[in-house]
Structure 1
Amino acid sequence: MTWLHKLGVGGALVSGLLVCAAPAPAVPLKAMPLGGEASLTLSAEARLRYDAHEQGQLVRGNSYRQGLFRGILGADLRLNPQVRVYGEIGTGQVDGRRNIATANFQNTVSLQQLFVEARGRLGPAQVGAMLGRQEFADGPRQLISLSDGPNLHRSWNGLRVYAQHQGLRVGAFDLRATRPGRGGFDEAVNHAERLQGLNASWLVPADGGPNTYLDPFWMHSENPSFRFGGQLGRDVRDTWGLRLWGRKGGLGFDWTLAHQTGRYLGREVAAWGLFAVHSLALSDQGWKPRLTAHIDIATGGGAYGSGRLKGFNPLYASSAYLGEGQFLALSNLLMIAPGLSVSPTPVTTLSVEYGFARRFDPQDAAYAGGMRAYAGTQGLPGRQIGGLLRVVGTWALSAQLSLFLNHERFDASELLRRAGLHSGSYSHVGATWRY
């Protein structure tokens, strides 16, 4: 490597000559030197959102409004290039139905994260470990996420290790869920709710393209209070899967196949899910239109009977995947959702999609978010659940401030109407500031 290749951001090579640029101004509260190799970086986030529910949970008359606020303060203490300590506290506030809001929405103050990370080299590989309370979302968003919809993210307690070299990354984790309280620093570790596993990511060889990855994974989950088919109890599952994702030219793709085994309330579990997300750029000029589509298949069956349970458990899926309105869940579901996304300006995006939802097993119930069964739908004839319209827009006013809007309209099918349910909608507008 020549000295020119070692050149950092303090200069540029123009027409064969070295041109020195003025150093970028220091950002306040970032990488503050503490002596030696130590430094401290402070961060913050504030999110303000206004929600409107019309016939929430598809129940006539269940219409209400809520104001939501998220406040986060973080500190990243780097002792040296190999060791850092990260901490984060958060608050969540609700205006409207405050008394019944769960602790991840209404929370005086919570210790969201506090972990130590150590990293270094083992031969040619980069290795590392994170120990303590931490957020975790290393996997398909149909199975694992930060849970960004509520005011406070989901967090875990335990150990995560990783190693990477060239086109290969491997990881392992052993985590226990954080059980939040509504007061001040009253969260606890729920040792009965566990998430363990192994994952990896390979850069697919040249004929697959330089931006294509194959991710095998195994997740072992234990949830003592999983709700399914009108029952609440212990769910123990092993989820094995493969994810192939990447981009080839204007085509983006993200495919996941997952198989589940285990036991729920003593019953054997055998379930699977297939999720295929695509986007295709029609033009890189003007509004840069892009066609989108996702196809979701998640098995169902057996929840209201005996013997083998075939209902898929979406574990800790992203609420944004099927909509913050929580009209649908990734269980007993067949869905196709075509859409279109445009960027009217370099800092704005607008997307619209319409999903057609059916039941995988017509004898099992249709499910809403949180695996809440739509009461009375089990056993009713018919597969059609309904149609879900989603409109999402974002506007980045600056590097720190962004505005967003979301509207969802669920058109209930005849099946749901026979069960006494109705069409409903959910909308929100808000702003996020990050520093």
Structure 2
Amino acid sequence: MKLFQAVWVAIIGVSLLALPAPSPAGFGEPPDSFRGYLLNRADEDYGYLRDPALNTDTWDPVKYLPFNRTGSWYLSLGGEARERYEYFNHPNWGKDPQDSGYLLQRYFLHGDLRMGENLRIFSQFQSSLENGRRGGPRPTDRDELDLHQAFLDLKLDLSDAASLTLRSGRQELAYGSQRLVSVREGPNVRQSFDGFRLMYRTGEFRIDGFAAKPVQTNRYAFDDGTDNAKALWGAYGVLPFPLLPQGNLDVYYMGVYRGKAGFDQGTARETRHSLGARLWRTAAPLDYNFEAIYQWGSFGTGAIQAWTVASDTGYTLSSLPLRPRFGLRADIASGDDAPATHDLETFNPLFPKGAYFSEAGLIGPANFIDLNPCIDLHLADHLALIFDWDFFWRESTHDGLYNNAVALVRSGKTSAARYIGSMSQGQLLWDIDRHLSFVAIYGHFFAGSFLKESGPGEDVDYLTTWLTYKF
């Protein structure tokens, strides 16, 4: 592990020495060939580097390594290193042992082999490490070395504008705003799945069908097997919505099976179906993201009926200094109203992003109501400050409080209070250049009546900062 980290430090050091000098404003201009690094590195395509004139970045020589005269067969290499510090004062509102902060490290290295336009093999290794946390690493803190992605793509061109691709193997899945299926970017160990994905693309219309099982997160080298106690399947479609300018519509169905699912009501086998729709727009000045989901199925011998409605609306005043964006997020997800019965009404977010409300991850998207005003200030093109204040209530006072992994944090049986508390937060986001980014976040959670009545209810201070290098 020390050798693995030393190689990464050397790579980052050499790359920083090779970077162009920044402009007087503090930012270098990205090259014309810049396509950006995507959330899932498997979604990147460096075929454009067949044109030598576009080879302008330090790492371009390893992004396109041709094997034949036409350049249609090529290998692309890439990776990432993230060094992160995290500190909680009164972790879990005083229920967990106090520590003095700890370090989280995450490393990725991948290879993308393109054998013409219709055949592809992608593989990615990851190493996630933790140092100094009192009580040891959390489940998503440590995974010493493992195969994170390894899949085969077979592509069929149906016409000049339409294609059908079958992806089989270990892969990341992320859909929409990642309320139900995500790569789990916030925590140290990201989520991947073993299974199949069928992708149809034509113009702006996209639809995926998938059937997979999550990959286990185990601590040691090459021990992440398939979690056969869980399964995910469904279909997700994205299309333009012409009734609203620059609007888009997502419609989807997802099914999940968990052999042992735990809620405040108890533990049982769960089969759950989710039907959802999302209406969204990202263009300024008005951006929005509205989503509604209904769930049904079985929990042991009982029936499931659950739901959620979420919204995120923002307006950017580009003519003002700092180009402020004023936003308001309002969400609600059902909780169990009658835990004494076998039926279940708690919403299940399936495999959501680990930092759903904040990087602190104190509260997950089940049995909650939240109202979150925010303001984004753009100090420069690549430097932003975000301030927000999130207020939380329980949707059902008969159900408990859950975290991002849908694990019960506090039972609802010891308090009838609805108000959970609020969290104020400030974030600094700095894209230093194409490869290097820096984030710093501080938040303070003010514990409300439910937390104080159900157990330790201390206020929580949270601080995290990280530096990420990608190539």
Same fold (TM over 0.5): yes
- Verify: 1:399 aligned to 2:429, yes or no: no
- Paired residue for 1:142? 179
Structure 1 residue 49, shift from structure 2 partner: 0.2
Is 1:299 aligned to residue 334 of structure 2?
yes
SS in 1 for 2:421: strand
Structure 1 letter corresponding to 2:431? A
Q: Secondary structure at the match of 1:426?
A: strand
Pairing 1:30–2:68 present: no
Q: Which amino acid aligns with 2:366?
A: S
Aligned equivalent of 1:15: none
Q: Deviation per CA, 1:367-407, whole angstroms, max 9, x where unpaired?
A: 33333334354352221111111222111111101110112
- Structure 1 residues 249 and 186, CA gap change in structure 2 (3 angstroms): closer
Unaligned runs of 5+ in 2: 1-31, 34-50
Q: 2:219 aligns with which of 163, 182, 190?
A: 182
Structure-2 change in CA distance of 1:83 and 1:98 (3 Å):
farther
**Whole-angstrom CA distance in 1 between matches of 2:384 and 2:354:** 20
1:42-97 deviation line (CA, Å, top 9, x unaligned):
00100000000111111257322110000110000111122111000011110023
Alignment of 1:4-403 (within 5 A): 23-25=53-55, 27-36=60-69, 37-59=72-94, 62-64=97-99, 65-97=101-133, 100-102=136-138, 104-123=140-159, 124-205=161-242, 207-209=243-245, 211-229=246-264, 231-247=266-282, 249-302=284-337, 304-378=339-413, 380-403=415-438
User: Using the alignment, how far apart are the partners of 1:288 and 1:342 within structure 2?
Assistant: 6
Q: Are the counterparts in 1 of residues 299 and 343 from structure 2 also a CA contact under 8 Å?
A: no
2:55, 2:61 within 8 Å by CA — same for their partners in 1? no
Equivalent pairs counted in the alignment come to: 415
Deviation at residue 249 of structure 1 after TM alignment: 4.4
Q: Structure 1, unaligned stretches of length 5 or more?
A: 1-8, 11-20
Amino acid at match of 2:189: L
Q: What amino acid is the match of 2:131?
A: D
Instruction: Give the AA of the match of 2:470.
Output: R
The alpha-carbon deviation at position 138 of structure 1 amounts to 1.9
| 3-state SS of paired residue (1:58) | helix
User: Deviation digits for residues 218-269 of structure 1, max 9, x if unmatched?
Assistant: 0001122333116344221000010111146411111110000012233211
Q: Choose 364-373 or 176-185, whichever is displaced more.
A: 364-373
Which one-letter code corresponds to 1:168 in the other structure?
F
SS of residue paired to 1:162: strand
How many angstroms does 1:22 deviate by?
Answer: 8.9
Distance 1:249 1:91 in 2: 38
Residues 54 and 62 of structure 1 are in contact (CA less than 8 Å); yes or no, is this contact kept in structure 2? no
Question: Which stretch shows the higher mean deviation, 31-40 or 396-405?
Answer: 31-40
Structure 1 pair 224–426 and aligned structure 2 pair: CA distance change class (3 A)? farther
Secondary structure of the 2:62 match is coil
User: Is the CA contact (8 Å cut-off) linking 2:97 and 2:134 kept in structure 1?
Assistant: no
Q: Which amino acid aligns with 2:323?
A: K
Distance across 1 between alignment mates of 2:435 and 2:305 = 46
- Higher share in strand: 1
Counterpart-to-counterpart distance in 2, 1:165 and 1:25: 29
SS of 1:89's equivalent in the other structure is: strand
CA contact (8 A) 1:303 1:311 kept: no
TM-score between the two structures when normalised by the length of structure 1: 0.90
2:444 to 390, 395, 409: 409
- Asked if the contact 1:362–1:383 (Cα under 8 Å) also holds between the matched residues in 2, the reply is yes
Contact 1:172 1:197 in 2 (8 A): yes
8 Å CA contact 1:363, 1:379 repeated in 2: no
| TM-score after normalising by structure 2 | 0.83
SS at match of 1:181: coil
CA 1:395 to 1:190, structure 2 compared with 1: closer, same or farther past 3 Å? Answer: same
Distance 1:369 1:409, change over 3 A: farther
Report the identity percentage. Answer: 24
